Amino acid sequence: MNTGQQSGFGDFAAQVKLWLAALLIGAVPAANIAYLVITYGVDVPFMDDWEYVPYIDAFLRGDWSIGNLFAQHNEHRPALFRAWRMLSAWFFGWNLSLELILSVFIAGVTYAIIAREVIRSRQLLGVGAGGSIRLFALASLLMFSPTQWENFLWAHQLSWFLQNAFAAACLALLARPSGSWHQMAFAILFGLCSTFSHGGGGLVLWPVGLLFCAVACVTSERQRDESVRLVVWCVVTAVLFVSYFHGYQRPEHHASMSRAVEHPLDFAAYVSAYLGNAVFFENIHLAVASGAVAIGLFLVGCFWSIRMKRLFPAAYDAAAFWVLLAAFGGVNALVTGLARSGLGLEQALSSRYVAMGALFWIGSSVLADLILVAGGRSETAARQRRRTILASSLVVAVAAAALGSYVKVEPVSWLRFHNRLTVGRDTLMYRNNDADLVKLHHTIGHVLAFLPVLKESRLSLFRNVDTLQNYVLHDAAQRPAGRVDSWGDDATPGEATVEECRKITGWAVDPETARSARKIFVMRGREVVAAAPVRELRPDVAEKLGSSDVVDSGWSVTICGKRLGKGESVLSVYAQPDSRRSLVRIGEHKLNVKSLAERWESGGETVYDATPDTCAQRIIPLHESDVDCGGRITLVSHGRDPYFATAPLKLDPERQCILKMELFLDHEDILRVFAGRPGGGFSDSDSQRFTLFPGVNVIFAELPRPENISGLVFSPGTREGLYELESFTLKQFGEGDVPKR
């Protein structure tokens, strides 16, 4: 009897219908992700992307070698991905938006491989084709989950999608019974592509494949063929590992793996949370519990598959790919846990780890489904129906949990990450507040060092630079186009200092379409000094204008005195309606930028001075920070912030207060200064942020109204590093202390 035809697989028309079903089921969540990527994607390098700039620069100058491709990046050697980026810079100007779209496409390729294996597995077992539909749905929901917002909005993660797609192709070929040499050759080729697309994750393929080949060699009746395959895989694995780790240097910022051995329970919880996060996103307890359940399903599936090798070879062949796929995801979770379990369970809930957890859940769930369906082949029809219902319930439960994460994430996390990248991009473009470059990389100096390469080679956001010189500038139309609600200088109207920044807020709409404007520009004449997208929620504007289409018409932008320079500037805020080459002015303001250093030198009264002799009484360590009152005041962070504060301040509420600090750092950092409230606590609205560099830094800060200050709290941007506070002084100034200009 032909089980393929009996189960609905043998007919060509049925096969086509099944593939169409897989395509349609996968297209819905994929289209949703594509829409989110197009809506929230930003063409700007982020974090690890910056590490590729020197290689791209060398390639464009013709000064590169094969060694550049295989150079180490953290623990990875992404030669294939690095080659793609070099060519992308040459042909497409390193268009990172293109890489975001490619990430969705490559995820679709991985889904297609999984769908093909679902059809093949059920065909081998001779069971109903209808059961494939639930497995298609589960795979598509996990592969295109919006909980992967970090993967889909970060261009660098294209390397991860490439790694997983090549890995799935490699495992699909390896799972076939030993056959032709070209099948083995392509499995090895795809394995190498996976390893050199991203790096460390692709290396996992080789020990996983080695174990699979060893088990097949021991249990198979075709010992000779399986032995040859095992030897070939062993040789390639050995050569690969020797070459990969030749000259390898352990990244300094990676935590020691000894903690996983010293705290095995924390390690186990981390791995479970890592895997469970793909289904119960950012829910620690459910993630740990569900991850442990999935691990149990996987282990049962492995035992069942080995047992079926002799009893029912078709079942073993049907399950092989899913065992390998789940093992690939699971071993990656183990390796990550070894390196990062010391960072806490919260770190395991990172959005980017969902990609690997999804593969583990797909492999384990399909494996459980096959066990239930295959086990009922020789039973009565009633028992078979009960097994089918149980298998369907299991898959539906996992899919329902994944759908719950859709509701939790979309689109808040996407918008938050989009806004972070947008602020960083506009800061990079207009340099209005360099402190915001920390949104693109934790080391600002790193970004500034590579910025000239992007500009000179016209890469990424500088690919098609629009200077607005040819735009038509209009005054506000009769219909409302927007308004500036605050220029951020309520305390000192019309004045700012070189050392401080002002946050400007307002709303903007397109008067012709009655929709939110696209963007706002802050201009001094024809010079753009700042820009921001129009995306913030303003229900008050929607109510006033009587249209829900303008509920997201709010905007905010930060301008620093350092960007404007000393003297008077006339600033105009222009709204860009939709994508037309015209701008509508919605506000104008005069801002006089002065120097706090001039004010400081004019005199004033010193009301607070922390010296090495008095620091014990005036500097209060928080969270067990060290305060050394020797020759300098030394403050060492112990991994928590904020970590030091002043004693309560007694200030004259009628006089202006200025802080001067001299700090020595052994690293680059961001320091935030918070004004403590009289009632306790502190707020972001009362904070100022300063970019600090290695060496001595002198900063001035004009504090909020003195009656609103009870003390000062200081917080570093990093969680480690040495601060040496050489001086810390507060002065108050009356009107007579203001220097003449």
Residue 524 pLDDT greater than 80, yes or no: yes
State the DSSP code for 581: S
> What confidence category does residue 516 fall into, taking pLDDT thresholds of 50, 70 and 90?
confident
> What are 177-217's pLDDT values in tens digits?
766 778 888 989 999 999 988 877 788 888 988 888 888 77
What pLDDT score does 112 carry? 93
What is the average per-residue pLDDT within 622-645? 46
Say whether 248 sits in a helix, a strand or coil.
coil
Do 156 and 47 form a contact (C-beta atoms < 8 A)? yes
Confidence (pTM)? 0.71
Which stretches of 684-730 are DSSP H helices?
A: none
> What are 309-336's pLDDT values in tens digits?
666 677 777 888 888 999 999 888 888 8
> What are 679-718's pLDDT values in tens digits?
555 555 556 777 777 777 778 877 766 665 656 666 666 5
- The residue ranking higher by pLDDT, 560 or 99, is 99
> What confidence category does residue 5 fall into, taking pLDDT thresholds of 50, 70 and 90?
very low
Q: What percent of the chain has pLDDT over 90?
A: 9
Residue 387 pLDDT greater than 90, yes or no: no
What residues contact 665, with CB distance under 8 A and at least 6 apart? Answer: 692, 693, 694, 695, 697, 721, 722, 723, 724
User: Could you give all domains of the chain from N- to C-terminal order, each with its CATH number?
Assistant: 3-7+102-410 (no CATH), 44-94+411-465 (no CATH), 472-594 (2.60.40.2470), 602-737 (2.60.120.260)
Distance from first CA to last CA of the chain, Å, rounded? 100
Residue 100 pLDDT greater than 60, yes or no: yes
What pLDDT score does 507 carry? 92
Do 497 and 700 form a contact (C-beta atoms < 8 A)? yes
What is the average per-residue pLDDT within 19-24? 86
Which stretches of 523-614 are DSSP H helices?
A: 539-545, 561-564, 596-601
> What confidence category does residue 383 fall into, taking pLDDT thresholds of 50, 70 and 90?
low
Residue 547 pLDDT greater than 50, yes or no: yes
State the DSSP code for 353: G
> What confidence category does residue 111 fall into, taking pLDDT thresholds of 50, 70 and 90?
very high
What pLDDT score does 166 carry? 94
DSSP element (H, E) containing 731: strand 722-733
Strand 582-594 vs strand 495-497: parallel, antiparallel, or unpaired?
Answer: parallel
What pLDDT score does 451 carry? 86
What residues contact 72, with CB distance under 8 A and at least 6 apart? Answer: 247, 248, 249
Q: Which of 148-157, 329-338, 486-495 has the lowest mean pLDDT?
A: 486-495
Highest-confidence segment of 9-18, 94-103, 292-301, 639-648: 94-103
Q: Which of 104-118, 569-583, 618-632, 703-717 has the lowest mean pLDDT?
A: 618-632
Q: Report d(CA 126, CA 314) in Å as an integer.
A: 9
Q: 710, 700, 719: which is closest to 642 by C-alpha?
A: 719
Q: 11, 248, 289: which is closest to 129 by C-alpha?
A: 11
Backbone angles phi, psi at 386, to 5 degrees: -65, -40
What residues contact 349, with CB distance under 8 A and at least 6 apart? Answer: 273, 277, 281, 282, 284, 287
Do 199 and 172 form a contact (C-beta atoms < 8 A)? no
> What are 584-608's pLDDT values in tens digits?
888 888 888 877 777 677 677 887 7
- The residue ranking higher by pLDDT, 3 or 98, is 98
- Round the average pLDDT of the chain to a whole number and report it: 78
CA 323 to chain centre: 29
Residue 101 pLDDT greater than 90, yes or no: yes
> What are 393-450's pLDDT values in tens digits?
777 777 777 767 766 665 777 888 888 888 888 888 776 667 778 888 877 777 888 8
What pLDDT score does 379 carry? 54
- The residue ranking higher by pLDDT, 334 or 652, is 334
Tokens read off for 439: 């949104």
Do 187 and 113 form a contact (C-beta atoms < 8 A)? no
- The residue ranking higher by pLDDT, 580 or 641, is 580
Do 154 and 47 form a contact (C-beta atoms < 8 A)? yes
State the DSSP code for 711: E
Do 561 and 701 form a contact (C-beta atoms < 8 A)? no
